[in-house]
A and B are shown apart, each in its own frame.
Chain A
Amino acid sequence: MGKAATRVMSLSARAMPSAAPVRRRFSADRWFVPVTVLPTFVVMVAIFGLPLLFSLYLSFTGWSPNQALLGGAYVGLANYEDLFADPVFVGSLGITFGYTAAAVSAQLAAGLGIALLLNIDLPYMRTFRTALVIPMMITPIVGALCWKLLLDPSHGVVNHWIGAQIIWLGRPDTAMLAVWVVNVWQSTPYVALILLAGLRSLPSEPREAAAIDGASRWQMFLHITLPLLKPYILVALLLRTIFEFRAFDNIYAMTGGGPADSTMVLSMFTYLASFVRFDFALGAAASWMMLLMSMGLCLVFIALIRRRDAH
């Protein structure tokens, strides 16, 4: 925090004088910023701005794949009305929020615990840290397919150990549980790393002072470490929420949204509407609902970073 703040301050302090005294002997220098920024701007418009505008257009038309690019007839809000009349979509809203909340809270709790343990100053901590972050590095689709084998009803090692023949991915309750476990397994290290970076950057003086004043360990954690760590917890919370909200890979690989739509998150719904049923207009409407919701999350995240950079 402190480092970031001083970095921003010193930057603005030195950017001011540097621009003025240097004599502009090359008129081409005036074009330096446009020349360097324009390619990025063009790519952003081409692969991000235009597609999003086009999908907004699609969502208000009855476009079908055999029509010309802009040949869809205007249908007003019909696609959005269809969406909210579809019990699968309405259900997927609840499933997405529930899944996100359950996954992020478990990741934060486990991640905080692991970060606190790894922050202890003992030998071999680097080795433990290295071992614990490995799940995060695994290609998500590979991780999910591996878990699918572990949970295999007849040959999986999990069923063998518990001595039962549970069809984990074939029942609504256990399917959701399995997807959640895989997610927590894979993303907890991510939270742990962010929080560990936070713990390492905390000043030691407040805790030393509290120790001298006779604070108990629990009091110190609750009233000193946790409040100081709050900005990092917020960053981890928001980032994980943004990323779980768009969860796709592990669900696609393990359940495909089933059984009985019980793991149908919004990404999965949009994927099936667009690329299985080829109803791109409905898919675009669902995309825009997702965009609006995640845009809200992003704005909160940006506001948070800006506030931190400001002081």
Chain B
Amino acid sequence: MAIVVGTRRATWVQRALVYATLSALVVVFLFPLLWIAGLSLKTRMQTFADPPLYLWWPTFENYADVLGRSDFMMAFVNTLLVSGSAVGLSLCVGVPAAYAFARFPFRGRSFLFFALLVMRMLPPIAVLVPMYVLFSKIGLTTTRLSVVLAYATFSLPLVVWIMRGFFEDLPPELEESAWIDGANRYSAFAHIVMPLAKPGMVAAAILCLQLAWNDFLFAAVLTNNATQTLPVKMMTFSAGDSGVDWGGVTASGMLVILPVIVFSFLAQRHLVAGLSSGAVKG
């Protein structure tokens, strides 16, 4: 533990042990993903080879198949539209509110804020059951709008929570001097605060985009064949009439997770704060 504590320099044995343990962990944690990536580059024959092939000439035919399917591309467009709109809606609605939460004490502030936290934490299925009934009665089910609204149940609280923390960390002197110079609250917010808030908004947007992209439950219930998103589409590769389509599942799976992993690395600095709903600063 001395090296953990940092009071003594690590001996080379200790270093080797640490690196060996970490390498073993990386192998364990990444093996499933690497194996699936490998399968996605195999032909049907190679996939079912017994014993499994460890070395082969990679083929991209599964990717060509998946990308050539119009329903997959449609699902891709749907996912982009739906998650993008949900994030846009949550930013437009949530950022001004987060600013008010951070700067102005008002009656019901803490109640409203904790209601938002509860909204983020409650089981999505519990909101989805009544939401589905209400939406179906007003003809909203199977539309992309219904999914956007459903996604706001997690992205709006996340935006408000992250942005409130961000605004609290901004020094208030800038807006205050703008107020003294005669700017009203609205223009001070629009011209002084918003430009400074851009990095926070980018982080919040990426985290929300990731959650929306990854959602399965809401989209599975609220969409049909024309409006379904990628994770829902992926399930059909696994549960089709002709059994599991190995090439389809593996190649589409890789295509679904690739953008999320890229997003996540972009937002890595903010990951912890977002994950813990701001309870731990990253």
B260 at the interface (CB under 8 A from A): yes
B22 near A128 with CB under 8 A, answer: yes
Residues in B neighbouring A18, C-beta threshold 8 A: 172, 176
Q: Mark B1-30, 1 if CB is under 8 A from A, else 0.
A: 111111110100001001101100110011
Q: What's the Cα separation between A61 and B100 when bound, in Å? A: 40
B76 at the interface (CB under 8 A from A): no
Q: What's the Cα separation between A185 and B213 when bound, in Å? A: 20
Of all chain A residues, the one with the shortest Cβ separation from B182 is A25
Among A40, A54, A131, residue most surrounded by chain B Cβ atoms (within 10 Å): A40
User: With A120-B10, A197-B280 as given contacts, are A137 and B133 in contact (CB-CB < 8 Å)?
Assistant: no
Instruction: Give, as a whole number of angstroms, the nearest-CB distance from B32 to chain A.
Output: 6
Instruction: Give, as a whole number of angstroms, the nearest-CB distance from B216 to chain A.
Output: 4
B87 at the interface (CB under 8 A from A): no
Residues in A neighbouring B94, C-beta threshold 8 A: 40
Q: What's the Cα separation between A208 and B35 when bound, in Å? A: 45
Of all chain B residues, the one with the shortest Cβ separation from A32 is B185
A280 near B129 with CB under 8 A, answer: yes
The stretch of A73-81, A171-179, A288-296 in contact with B is A288-296
Of all chain B residues, the one with the shortest Cβ separation from A14 is B172
Among A14, A43, A114, residue most surrounded by chain B Cβ atoms (within 10 Å): A43
B180 near A22 with CB under 8 A, answer: yes
B97 near A297 with CB under 8 A, answer: no
Q: Which chain A residues (203-226) contact chain B, with CB distance < 8 Å?
A: 204, 207-208, 211, 217-218, 220-221, 225
Chain B interface residue number, banded: 35 or more
Q: Which chain B residues (233-276) contact chain A, with CB distance < 8 Å?
A: 234-235, 238, 244, 246, 249-250, 253, 256-257, 260-261, 264-265, 268, 271-272, 275-276
Residues in A neighbouring B19, C-beta threshold 8 A: 122, 124
A253 at the interface (CB under 8 A from B): yes
B68 at the interface (CB under 8 A from A): no
Residues in B neighbouring A150, C-beta threshold 8 A: 32, 35-36
Q: What's the Cα separation between A15 and B203 when bound, in Å? A: 26
Q: What's the Cα separation between A118 and B15 when bound, in Å? A: 12
B30 near A131 with CB under 8 A, answer: yes
Instruction: Give, as a whole number of angstroms, the nearest-CB distance from B150 to chain A.
Output: 7
Q: Mark B102-121, 1 if CB is under 8 A from A, else 0.
A: 11111000001011111101
Q: Which chain A residues (134-159) contact chain B, with CB distance < 8 Å?
A: 134-135, 137-143, 145-150, 152, 155, 157
A99 at the interface (CB under 8 A from B): no
Instruction: Give, as a whole number of angstroms, the nearest-CB distance from B68 to chain A.
Output: 20
Q: Which chain B residues (165-212) contact chain A, with CB distance < 8 Å?
A: 168-169, 172, 176, 179-180, 182, 184-186, 189, 210
Of all chain B residues, the one with the shortest Cβ separation from A211 is B7
B122 near A220 with CB under 8 A, answer: no
A295 near B118 with CB under 8 A, answer: yes
User: With A11-B168, A149-B39, A297-B121 as given contacts, are A137 and B235 in contact (CB-CB < 8 Å)?
Assistant: no
B78 at the interface (CB under 8 A from A): no
A164 at the interface (CB under 8 A from B): no
Main secondary structure of the interface of A (DSSP, over half): helix
Contact of B168 among A7, A208, A274 (CB under 8 A): A7
A138 near B4 with CB under 8 A, answer: no
A252 near B26 with CB under 8 A, answer: no
A291 near B126 with CB under 8 A, answer: yes
Instruction: Give, as a whole number of angstroms, the nearest-CB distance from A280 to chain B.
Output: 6
Q: What's the Cα separation between A174 and B261 when bound, in Å? A: 30
B149 at the interface (CB under 8 A from A): yes
Known A35-B96, A40-B116, A150-B36; further 5 A-B contacts with Cβ < 8 A: A25-B182, A32-B100, A36-B96, A117-B25, A249-B216
Which residues does A use to contact B, with CB under 8 Å?
3-4, 7, 11, 14-15, 18-19, 22, 25-26, 28-29, 32-33, 35-37, 39-41, 43-44, 46-48, 50-52, 54-55, 58, 63, 65, 69, 114, 116-122, 124, 128, 130-135, 137-143, 145-150, 152, 155, 157, 160, 185, 189-190, 193-194, 197-198, 204, 207-208, 211, 217-218, 220-221, 225, 232, 235-236, 239, 242, 245-246, 248-249, 252-253, 266-267, 270-271, 274-275, 280, 283-284, 287-288, 290-291, 294-295, 297-298, 301-302, 304-305
Closest 4 CB pairs between A and B?
Answer: A217-B1, A55-B130, A246-B123, A36-B96
15 A-B pairs with CB atoms under 8 Å apart are: A4-B281, A7-B169, A32-B104, A65-B136, A117-B25, A134-B29, A139-B231, A152-B244, A157-B52, A160-B50, A197-B280, A225-B5, A246-B124, A248-B124, A271-B125
